[in-house]
Structure 1
Amino acid sequence: MFCVQTEGRGHMTQALALRELLEEAGHQVVCVMASKSRRRKLPAYFRKAFGVPVRELASPNFVADKNNKKIRVFASIGYNLLLLPTFIVSLVKMRKLIHNAQPDYVINFHDFLTGIYHALVPRQHHFIATHRSYLAFHPEFPFAPGRTMERHLLKLCCEIMAAKAETRWALSYRPYLPNHFGNTAVVPPLLQDIKPKNHQDDGFYLAYMVNDGYAEDLITSFDKCPPGTVAHCFWDRRGQNDIWEARPGLYFHPLSRKKFLDHLRRCRGVISTAGFETVCEAHLAGKPIGLIPTEGQYEQACNAVDAEAGGIAKRLGGYDLAEFVSYVENGKFRPGIQTEWMAGRETWRKIISETVA
């Protein structure tokens, strides 16, 4: 059984890739639980991918500011406390889902509700938790400087989401030594449909944002780009189901995995909020990458530090396409060096054979 936090496309990408690897090894995904958010709609491609029902349950999530840009940490805590009765109902529904599915393993893709459930309810299945943030417990992980309280909150959230997990998979841009610490293994990204250097340059730029409030920044900076610049942005603004041409040459697309990956293979460079999967996919395709951590999201600030330290991406001062275009066109991109690690399907086959009986 998969339990997937559906904020952004990253966890959904991981789930799709792991399902493929598990089925290749003779296992079967019998049930999928997706966390439900009022801010977002679950993409149709994810609903259709598994061949089993995808059940949506209300789960704790972040609260953004009025412009849907910056994450408000304390507002998120208060908001989720007010929704406790709703989450209790979700826990009861989750227990029923697990009882009916009778899984041998539950794999949590960083969903809060799933962690709480496993902290509270005795179980008869194995529990695996996977996410990038479990690297926060590795002695060599480069945290974003300062922000000590947010560092502790990040670790606390990880402990909750992996409560009583027998195994934690810490997804990483690059290898770390030691590659095992405690019950945690440092593992390559879970990617699908991307092959090293399987790309071309059709001259346009690709943008991705988790929170659609960054659209205004992208539009403003696009106006400062050289004449003839073309950019395609993928977002999940609720109710925006068609392509929107915000400026001549600047297009906003609703999330579509197939379409996004097609644009990724053909673009000149990728500018994105500092998640994980998009960065890995772009790096594997050999693209220059500009990263903007989502404001207020400490995890993304750490992602940007780590990606730049590994020579994978460049941190930008804001969601500034003009800055990124200048950076790429002037040849300032430093080629990445982690493609062998990121294309780690053989590593994952070994992990599955050793972990999933």
Structure 2
Amino acid sequence: MRILYGVQATGNGHITRARVLLPALQAAGAEVDVLFSGRPRERLFNMEPFGRYTHRRGLTFITEAGRVKWWQTLLQNRPVELMRDIRALDVRGYDLVLSDFEPVTAWAARRAAVPSLGIAHQYAFLYPIPGTGFSPWLKPSIRLFAPVDEAVGLHWSAFNAPILPPMIEPLTGQPSREADKVLVYLPFEARDEVVYWLSGLPKVRFRVYCNVDQPRTVDNVELLPFSRSGFQQDLYTCRGVIANAGFGLCSEAIQAGKNLLVKPLSGQLEQVSNAVVLEQMGLAQVMPRLGLDPIRHWLEQPAANPVPWPNVASTLARWILTGRQVPLEQLSRELWQDTRVPVITPA
């Protein structure tokens, strides 16, 4: 089977999924080409596992100080260039276009009538999910952004729907816990504000991954350039994780048994809903805004227990390569049956 795999690169969670699913597809016998969009090519890092991948501008969103700036987002995105890229992308030689919420490949497949399959956290929101409130525009916008013939949603619970568990790399080895070390990833927040609040807790060593060229230290706060290997090492050895409410990192932290404190990106419904779900499931604490009190309270909590996720990537790869003969509902039931997470249902 020849597959074109489109990956939305706005957030690292999509790329993290691709790092797991791509080798699973190749091991199952597929020939896979990968296309990334949503982030400038020069801002992608540690991309060696993807070989000679393709890049397009795609669509993204603009943030400032922890909030989505919708007007700037509309101005920065270029619909004419997007349409030109969709028309120029020839997908007729592929048996399947696989989209992790990536619009160029999804729309090119729709335009050429090539079979398409979506696998992403965003597709879970085609079903009722806690924290979404009354959002009549949500499902149409998901279908409009990256339309696919069949959509597979990923989440921390099935919510009585054919949703699959998170697709991340299985644990290798036993995570440890350095009592004074906290991993921080808040890319949508103002860096100076992050440093200001964290420096108010001098007994804790905060490892902050952000957009810097070289490591530097401000009091008890270590600022580090983006690095997949360094980040994973800190994740395995830290006491806990402070992050925005993105799906990928939260899934990794939960699996590693790390205490999790999330600050959802204001104006981004996916992250607002993620925070609600995490809090309802008892998997994280939530702070609506940065501050000393919520961080101090979080640091006083007992250590979390690891929650291993099943090997979703290998299961999906086999399912895809055998023609998706098993209904998605059955696949969902089989993957969730041995997963130890609290079961919640949407209101």
TM-score bracket for the superposition, by shorter chain length:
0.7 to 0.9
* 2:222 is aligned with 1:221: no
* 2:293 is aligned with 1:293: no
Match of 1:34 in 2: 36
Which of 135, 144, 165 pairs up with 1:160? Answer: 144
In the alignment, the residues of structure 2 paired with residue 13 and residue 348 of structure 1 have an alpha-carbon distance, to the nearest angstrom, of 12
Match of 2:331 in 1: none
Assess if the C-alpha contact under 8 Å between 2:120 and 2:153 holds in 1.
yes
% same residue: 20
SS at structure 1 position matched to 2:112: coil
Instruction: List per-residue Cα deviations over 1:101-121 (Å, max 9, x = no partner).
Output: x332221111233333334x1
Question: Over aligned residues, Cα RMSD in angstroms?
Answer: 2.4
Aligned ranges 1:122-161 → 2 under 5 Å: 122-124=112-114, 126-139=115-128, 141-145=129-133, 148=134, 151-161=135-145
Instruction: List per-residue Cα deviations over 1:291-347 (Å, max 9, x = no partner).
Output: 11112211110111111112211111323466324322x2266x468x24xx210x5
The one-letter code sitting in structure 2 at the alignment partner of 1:122 is A
The one-letter code sitting in structure 1 at the alignment partner of 2:301 is G
What are structure 1's unaligned runs of at least 5 residues? 181-185
Shift of 1:2: 1.3
Aligned ranges 1:92-241 → 2 under 5 Å: 92-95=87-90, 98-99=91-92, 102-119=93-110, 121-124=111-114, 126-139=115-128, 141-145=129-133, 148=134, 151-163=135-147, 165-178=148-161, 180=162, 186-192=163-169, 194-195=171-172, 198-201=175-178, 203-211=180-188, 213-225=189-201, 227-235=202-210, 237=211, 240-241=212-213
What are structure 2's unaligned runs of at least 5 residues? 323-347
Q: Which runs of 4+ in 1 moved over 4 A?
A: none
- TM-score, with structure 1 as normaliser: 0.81
Shift of 1:348: 4.1
Which of 182, 193, 214 pairs up with 1:242? Answer: 214
SS at structure 2 position matched to 1:156: helix
Assess if the C-alpha contact under 8 Å between 1:233 and 1:251 holds in 2.
yes
* 2:46 is aligned with 1:45: yes
Match of 2:341 in 1: none
SS at structure 1 position matched to 2:56: strand
* Number of residue equivalences: 319
In the alignment, the residues of structure 2 paired with residue 203 and residue 142 of structure 1 have an alpha-carbon distance, to the nearest angstrom, of 34
Instruction: List per-residue Cα deviations over 1:205-247 (Å, max 9, x = no partner).
Output: 1001232x4322211211321x332101112x3xx321132x1
In the alignment, the residues of structure 2 paired with residue 24 and residue 202 of structure 1 have an alpha-carbon distance, to the nearest angstrom, of 39
Assess if the C-alpha contact under 8 Å between 1:196 and 1:285 holds in 2.
no
Instruction: List per-residue Cα deviations over 1:220-277 (Å, max 9, x = no partner).
Output: 211321x332101112x3xx321132x1221122221111010000101100001011
SS at structure 1 position matched to 2:275: helix
- TM-score, with structure 2 as normaliser: 0.83
